Structure 1
Amino acid sequence: MNKLLVFFLFSALFFTQISAQNQFIARQGQVSFFSYASVENIEAKNNQALSILDIEKKEIAVSMLMRAFVFKKNLMHEHFNESYIESDVFPKATFEGQIIDFDPLASGVQTKLIKGTITIRGISKEISIKTSISKTPKGFYLDGEFSLVVKDFEIKIPPILSNNIAKIVSVKIKIQYLPYEEINR
């Protein structure tokens, strides 16, 4: 009986360790967006995106606080959070996806498609993100770009400003992943 218990405990520890070796984390991933506007371009950067990459399952998850976006002008930050995104009601955005045909053992840069669901303002949409994934000495680096349609997330733009704000926003992501257990030390 004791040998069986020791076997199960050893197995549980072994599989937990294997699972941790397949997971990578980033606590300061960068997400930026750009929106062309006739009066003034709108751009912001968020350096606090949390992301987990599971190389065994080829899955990625990202979560970020919307208030963490930094703008060149405080008034843009205020309008973004209060009028458009409504950060008090919808404080974060998330993405969960699958990396198509990803080979975590390959060296060099892999250009891959990530298909998944992005949720902004409580509204979920299926998207595809074209990315470059590089293996680094300690983990992985992901660099990607995609576009979002403003109306898909029911962002209300006053009619007087509708000609000054782009209907499509360009989003860029840059995330450096390190082994999960290394971050937790």
Structure 2
Amino acid sequence: MNKLLLVLIFIISSSITSESNEYIERQGQVTFFSYTSVENIQATNNQVLSLFNPEKEEIAVSILMRAFVFKKSLMHEHFNESYIESDLYPKATFNGRIEDLDLTNEGTQTRIIKGDFTLKDITKPITIKADITKTSDGFTIAGTLDVLIDDYNINVPPLLSPNISKKIEVSFNFNYAPYEK
């Protein structure tokens, strides 16, 4: 019994004192853009949370859907109430792995990130091409991807279908700092 207690104390204390190699971004930026001949729609969210573990090549992102800011308040209302249904699906998430990340590279490297993107409780595998830069105090990860609205059951009324593209361009920029627990 005493030996088990000593082992547990050792494990807990070593995990507390060990150096963490995790990074966090609390105010990441995600922007989406929909181009049509009738009207362009763009929104930006500067309240995106992301965790990054370079040694494990893992990244996780959580996007609060109501935090997107539009130029027109009516677009914001339609986005949250009709298309994304933010009351039912308040967040979108991404969990993925970066392929072949070179931690010795001091410059920018372009890498593929593969993972699962969840929007409106629908999870799809996606592949993202991203630029990863090692900075003096962390990392920056930026890139773009296309999201098809049909993949996530985003229903657009026929009357408004000329106003909204079937493919939405999503851009992101995360500046990670060391995560202190």
What TM bracket, shorter-length normalisation?
A: over 0.9
**2: CA distance, partners of 1:42 / 1:109:** 31
SS at match of 2:93: strand
TM-score where L is the length of structure 2: 0.93
The equivalent of 1:157 in structure 2 is 156
- Cα gap change, 1:140/1:131 in structure 2, threshold over 3 Å: closer, same or farther? same
The alpha carbon displacement at 1:4 in A equals: 8.7
TM-score where L is the length of structure 1: 0.91
The equivalent of 1:104 in structure 2 is 103
**1: CA distance, partners of 2:4 / 2:105:** 39
Aligned-residue RMSD, C-alpha: 1.8
More helix as a share of residues: 1
**2: CA distance, partners of 1:153 / 1:125:** 9
Aligned pairs (5 A) from 1:3-152: 9-18=9-18, 21-152=20-151
Q: Percent identity between the aligned chains?
A: 55
Residues 38 and 165, structure 1, Cα contact 8 Å, conserved in 2: no
SS at match of 2:95: strand
**1: CA distance, partners of 2:17 / 2:25:** 19
Letter matched to residue 41 of structure 2 = I
Aligned residues: 181
Structure 1 unaligned blocks of 5 or more: none
**2: CA distance, partners of 1:82 / 1:163:** 19
- Cα gap change, 1:34/1:113 in structure 2, threshold over 3 Å: closer, same or farther? same
